[in-house]
Chains A and B, each alone.
Chain A
Amino acid sequence: MRDILFRNWSKGVILFFSLAMFPTNIFAQSSSGSLDLLSSIIIATVIIVFGAIIFVTDSLLQMEGRRQLEGKDAKVDSSLFPKYIGDASELPSYIPKDRYFKLRRGFDINLEGKPENKIVETPFVSKYSVLPTDFRGIAPIPKITPEEGDGLLAGDELFFDKRNPEIKFVSPVSGKFAGIVRGPKRAIHEVTVIADEEIKYKELPELNLDSAERSDIVNFLKKYGGWVHLRQRPFDIIPDPEDVPRDIFISTFDTAPLAPDLNFAVQGEEAAFQTGIDLLNKLTDGRVHLGMDGRGKEIPSRVFLEAKNVEKYWFTGKHPAGNVGVQIHHINPIKKGDMIWYLHPHDVIVLGKMITERRYNTERLMAMCGAEIETRAYMRSRPGAQVGELLSNITFKNENVRLISGDVLTGNKKEKEGFVGFFDDQVTVILEGDYYEPFGWLLPQEVRPSLSPTFPGFIFPDMEYRADTNSHGERRAFVVTGQYEKVLPMDIYPQHLMKAILTNDFERMEGLGIYELSEEDIAICEFVCTSKMPLQQILREGLEIVNE
C-alpha cells in the first residue's frame, strides 16, 4: 500500500511541475518576474491544498473501511484510488479480487527452447542416484544402510543423516545398490542404484488421514522417505520433526526462464494432490497456502483450481512472481523466529501417493528444454535419473553445451554422468559461452537478454534469446545501484543486505530481511548484476552465519 501511495505522490510531483512550468513559458519574456512568481505560488498552493484534502479524505475512507471489515476474513480496498485501477475489470472471473497480488517489479528472461506441451517416450535409464548434496542441513557423510549389491525396492531405505537417524532417505527405483561416490573431504556425493526395467515398489502401511494423530503422520513420513520432500524457510533446510510450522506454502506456477508448465505436468493427479494437501493440513497449526497463477494466460489446472482446504492467493507479474519466497512475502512475511514449510507441487503429489497408492512413487513429467536440443518436450521420469541416459534419444544442435538440472538461474551444472537433482523437474541445455568477443562491451555481436535499455531488445518484448554461459564482463565492486530493486518484488534492499553479509553485520542482516530470502529469489538479481557479483553464494554464506 505504501508503494501505491508513493507512486501517486511521485505522479503528483510531476503534475505539479508541469503546471508550475506552464506560467514560465508564457511570461518568460517579461522581465519583471513577480507576476509569474505569484501565479506559480498560487497554483502550487491550490494543488497542495487540493491534494491534502484528497489525501485526508482517502485516509479517512480507508480507516472507515478497515473498521467496518474488522474481524471479517476479507480484504477490500476502500481507498479512493483502489490498488488495481483498470485491472479489476480485466481480471478473469476465476480470480477473486481480494486475493490478488499484482507484482510490478521483476524481469522475464525470454529464452529460446521452451518445452512444448507434449510427452515423448522416455528412454530406459539404468542408473539413478540420490545426491546428499541436494539437501541442506544434513551432515556431509550420511550413514549408508544397504550393502553393495543388495536388491532394493522403490521406497527402501538408502541412507540417513547421523544427526537425525529417524529421517530416512529412500531409493526412487527398484534395483541393485551400486555404491557411493565420494567428493572432497570424503563427503558422499552420490548414492547410486542400478534400476530394474520394471520398477517394483515397497508396499507402505495404510494410513487413515482422518483418524491419524499428527505424530503418526510425522513418523510415517520420516520412516518411508516422505519427510525429506518438505523444506523449511528460513534457510531452505529439511525441517526438524519436532517443529510445527506456522504455515505451509505451495507455489503452483513457475516463472523461471524455460520453466515447465506445471498445469500440464500435474494433469490427472487431482486425488494425489488433494490427499497431499490434507496431509499437510495435519502437520501445521496454520493454513496451507497455494500461490496461483494470476497472469491470466491460461486457466490453472483443475488439480490446483479445485483443491480444497487451502487458502488460494493469486499472483501476476514477471519472474520471480512464481517463487514461493516472493509469495510468502506478500501473503504473510517470515519474521524472526517464524518457521514455515514449503513444497513443490510434485512433492505434494509424492506425499499424496504415499497414502493413495501406498507406495513411494516420484514419477513425474520432467521438461527437457533449452535452445540447444531438437526435441523440447516432457518425459515421464524421476529425479535422480542419469542425465546422459535421459537425454540419449535427443539430438543436440551443438557439441559445446552445458547440461543443467533445473532452470538457468538456480539449477546445477551436470555432466552426462551426473544425475537430475532431487527437487528438479527440468533439464536445460544451453550453449557454453567460452569465447572471446571483440569489443563486446561496446557492440555485442548477438542479441542477448538484458534488463538494460542500452540494448535494443527492450523494444521487442516477445523476442526469444539464445543465451550462453559467458559472463559478459568481469567481476567488479558494487557500483550501479537500484537495479536489484527493479527486479525483486519484495520490500527488501538486496544490495544493502549483501553488504551487511559481506561485512558480517548480524543485526543488519536480520533487520534487512535475510530470513525472507533464499537463493532462488535473489537469482534474478544475480542475473542482472552489472558487477557480476555471486549474490546467491553471498546470500548462502549469510544464511549459514545467522543459522548458527
Chain B
Amino acid sequence: MKDKMLNLLEKFEPNKEKSPFLYTLYDGFHTFLFVPNHVTKGGVHIRDNMDLKRTMVHVVLMLQLCYLFGTYNIGHQHFLALGEYTGFLEGFHLKLFYGFWQLLPIFVVAHVVGLAIEFFYAAKKGHGIEEGFLVSGALIPLIMPPDIPLWILAVSVAFAVIIGKEAFGGTGMNIWNIALLSRVFIFFAYPTVISGDEVWIAGLESTFSGAAVEYGWVHLTLFNGIFDWLGLALFDPHLTVVDGYTGATPLALAFQGGWEAVTDVYTQSQMIWGTIPGSIGETSKPLILVGAIFLGIVGIASWRIMLGMLIGTVFTGVLLNMWGATDFMNVPWYHHIYIGSFLFAMAFMATDPVTAATTNRGKWIYGFLIGFFGIIIRVLNPAYAEGWMLAILFMNTFSPLIDHFVLRKNIQKRLASA
C-alpha cells in the first residue's frame, strides 16, 4: 500500500529545473504525506522523533476547540440579536450552519492567500515549504471579527506574510507575530471597519433595533431546502433586530460604565463560557485554557511566558484598582482575566517561540511586560478597548533587547570570573 502510493506519487514528480513552483508544491505535498527517508549524516546518528511539523500541528489541533465553539457562537450571536432561539442549544442546526457558512470563506481566504504567497517564495528561494503558516493560517480567522469583509482579510494576510515574514527571510526569521500583524494592519488601515459594535455580529444590516437580517441564496434555498426536507426549523428572512439589543463587547461596556455596565448586559458565566460577541475564536475561556494547559505541559508553548503574563496582568490590574480614577480602572483585577481576549493572547499569541524572548529568564520578563502593557492599553486607551495585540507586537519588537540583557549578564559573569 505504502509502496504503491509512493510509486504513484513518483509518476507525478515535476522537473525541478523546469518548473520549480510545481516541484515545490509536489515536495510540500509529498513531505505532508510521508516523512522523508533522510538519514543522519555526520553528527548524531539518531534524532528525536519531534519535528517542526508535529510541533505546529499540535497548536493547530488545540485551536480546533476554539474553531468548534467559534463556529457555533457566530450563529448563536446572530440569533440573539434577532431575538430568536435565545437558549444556547435552541436552533442548533441553524446556528451551526449559519456559523459554518460565515466562517468557511474567512478560513479559505486566509489560507489561500497565505499559502499561495508561502509557496511562491519557497519556490523562488528553492527550499521546501516550511510549516510556519500552518499555525498563522489557523490563528488568523480566530482573531477576526465574524463580519470581516473578505477583501480586507485578503489584503491584511498578504501584508502580514510578505512584509512580516518573507521580507525577513521566512519561517523562524520574523520579528513580529504574523497573525497579529494581519490584525493590526486592519486596525490601522481600515479602522472604521473593525471598530464599533456591528462588526462582532454577523449577518445584520446594523445593530439598531428593526434592522433587517441579511440572508443569501445559500441560507434561503440550499440550507432551508435541506432543513425543510428534514422537517427542521428554517432561516427566516423577515426577522429584525430586537429592541434594546446592544452588540457591544464587555470591554466596550466596561469603558463606558465600569463593571456595573458590563454586568447589566452579560452575566459572569456568559463571559467565561464565551456566549458573547467577540472575535471568532477568543470567547470561550475553558476551551482556550484546555489548549493553554496542554501546550504548556507538552512544552510547545512556554509556561514561563504564560505565567509571566498572568503575573503582569494581575499586577497592573491591582495597581489600577488602587488608582481607581475611572470606572474602567475600578473593574476588579480578577475580572480582567476573562472579560477580553487575555487568555487567547496568552495561550496562542504571546507564546509564539519565534517572536518571543528566547532565553528562559527573558521569557519571564517578556511575559510580565506584555501583561503590564496589555492592561495599560486596555484600560487607559480611549480609542480601542483591547490591548493584547498592541502589547504583544510592542514586546515582540523589544524581545531581542530583553535577550540581549539576559545574555550580557551571562557574558559578564563569565568574563568576571576569568
Binding site for B on A (CB under 8 A): 13-14, 17, 20-21, 24, 28, 31, 33, 36-37, 40-41, 109, 111, 257, 333, 335-337, 402, 404, 408-411, 413, 428, 430, 432-442, 444, 448-455, 467-474, 476-483, 485-486, 491-493, 495-496, 508, 511-513, 523, 526-532, 534-537
Contacts and interface: CB of A to CB of B under 8 A. Distances in A.
B50 A451 contact: yes
B33 A438 contact: yes
A527 to B, nearest CB: 5
Given A441-B51, A537-B42, A40 B37 contact: no
A530 B44 contact: no
Contacts of B132: 479
B42 A436 contact: no
The 3 A-B pairs with the shortest beta carbon distances in the complex, nearest first, are A473-B51, A477-B172, A511-B411
Contacts, number: 238
Given A337-B418, A485-B360, A511-B411, A472 B51 contact: yes
B257 to A, nearest CB: 14
A472 B49 contact: yes
Contacts of B169: 477
Given A13-B307, A333-B417, A537-B42, 8 more contacts: A14-B307, A471-B39, A474-B31, A476-B52, A477-B171, A513-B410, A523-B43, A532-B51
A450 B49 contact: yes
A496 B52 contact: no
B28 to A, nearest CB: 11
Interface of B: 2, 5-6, 31, 33-40, 42-55, 57-58, 128, 130-132, 169-173, 259-260, 263, 268, 297-300, 302, 307, 310-311, 314, 318, 321-322, 330, 332-334, 353-354, 356, 358-360, 363, 403, 407, 410-411, 413-415, 417-418
Given A41-B318, A438-B5, A452 B298 contact: yes
A433 B58 CA distance: 25
A10 to B, nearest CB: 8
Given A482-B360, A496-B403, A512 B49 contact: no
> Which DSSP category, helix, strand, loop or mixed, fits chain A's interface?
loop
Nearest to B359: A493
Contacts of B332: 33, 36-37
A452 B48 contact: yes
Contacts of A433: 37, 39
A184 to B, nearest CB: 15
A477 B359 CA distance: 17
A513 B50 contact: no
A342 to B, nearest CB: 20
A481 B406 CA distance: 15
Contact of B57 (A24, A442, A482, A528): A442
Contacts of A451: 48, 50
B48 A440 contact: no
Given A454-B300, A469-B46, A479 B354 contact: yes
A472 B35 contact: yes
Given A470-B38, A482-B360, A409 B45 contact: yes
Contact of B43 (A333, A441, A511, A534): A534
A28 B259 CA distance: 13
Nearest to B31: A474
A528 B47 CA distance: 7
Contacts of A20: 314
B321 A526 contact: no
26 contacts: A13-B311, A28-B334, A333-B414, A335-B418, A336-B418, A436-B6, A438-B2, A438-B34, A452-B48, A453-B299, A454-B50, A454-B300, A471-B39, A471-B40, A473-B47, A477-B130, A477-B169, A477-B170, A477-B173, A479-B171, A479-B354, A496-B358, A512-B411, A528-B48, A531-B52, A537-B42
Contacts of B407: 493, 496, 508, 511-512
B172 A411 contact: no
Contacts of B46: 109, 111, 257, 408-409, 430, 449, 467-469, 527
A455 B39 CA distance: 21
